[in-house]
Amino acid sequence: MTVFRKLNGMEAAVVGGTLLMTLAPLVPYALLG
């Protein structure tokens, strides 16, 4: 938890947004595949 506490809101948003944009296109393929 220490690592996450070092991250500020902006960094957390960037990481979350990157993961979301990376995984979002894969969701339909996973559901339909």
Question: What is the pLDDT at residue 28?
Answer: 85
Give residue 21's pLDDT: 92
> Backbone dihedral region of 8: left (phi > 0), alpha (psi from -120 to 50 degrees) or beta?
beta
Both structure tokens of 20: 């979301």
* Cα distance between residue 19 and residue 11, in whole Å: 12
Alpha helices (H) along 1-33: 2-6, 9-23, 26-32
* 3 close to 11: Cβ distance less than 8 angstroms: no
1-30 tens-digit pLDDT = 566 666 678 888 899 899 999 988 888 888
**Paired tokens of 27:** 């969701």
pLDDT of residue 9: 81
